[in-house]
Amino acid sequence: MDRRNSRRDAQGQSVLTANRLLDGRIVWLAADGSWQLQLDRAKIFSNDHIEAALAEHAALAQQQELVGVYGVQVHENAQGILTPVTSREQIRAAGPSVHPEFVPTWHKPDTAVTV
């Protein structure tokens, strides 16, 4: 079971998230199997299928240079915009909470990790 989100709604939907080892950025699993920086590109799983998806992608995490793969329950509005259910995940989805002035100078351009 996904310990970080044990209170999923039976009829709800979730996405997979992780952190990149190279720069710590939050990434979301996309439908094409890549890990993207934008939540709106995330592949949506029904909550009854998220555990199987989590098991599959958690097993591949190390070779994709990812850590902490887990599921996040989301709501999708009428315009198709995804919003995480919890405040913690809403903050993570919004992007870095560090002022741009303090971003490390070694930070590389954003790239997707492909399966």
CA distances to 1, 15, 25, 96, 111 from 39, in Å = 23, 9, 12, 13, 15
Q: What does the pLDDT average to over 69-80?
A: 93
Which pLDDT score, from 0 to 100, does residue 104 have?
A: 63
Residue-wise pLDDT tens digits, 4-35: 655 677 789 999 999 999 988 999 999 999 99
Does residue 111 register a pLDDT over 60?
A: no
Residue 83 within any structural domain of the chain? no
What is the model's pTM?
A: 0.78
How far apart CA 17 and CA 39 sit, in angstroms, is: 9
How far apart CA 25 and CA 21 sit, in angstroms, is: 8
Q: How many separate domains does the chain show?
A: 1
Buried b (16+ CB within 10 A) or exposed e, 2-23: beebeebeeebbbbbbbbbeee
Residue 45 within any structural domain of the chain? yes
Does residue 115 register a pLDDT over 50?
A: no
Residue 101 within any structural domain of the chain? no
Please state whether beta strands 13-20 and 82-84 pair in parallel, antiparallel, or not at all (unpaired): unpaired
Residue 98 within any structural domain of the chain? no
Residue 80 within any structural domain of the chain? no
Residue 86 within any structural domain of the chain? no
> What residues make up the domain containing 33?
1-73
How far apart CA 74 and CA 12 sit, in angstroms, is: 8
Residue 29 within any structural domain of the chain? yes
Residue 103 within any structural domain of the chain? no
Q: What is the mean pLDDT of the chain?
A: 84
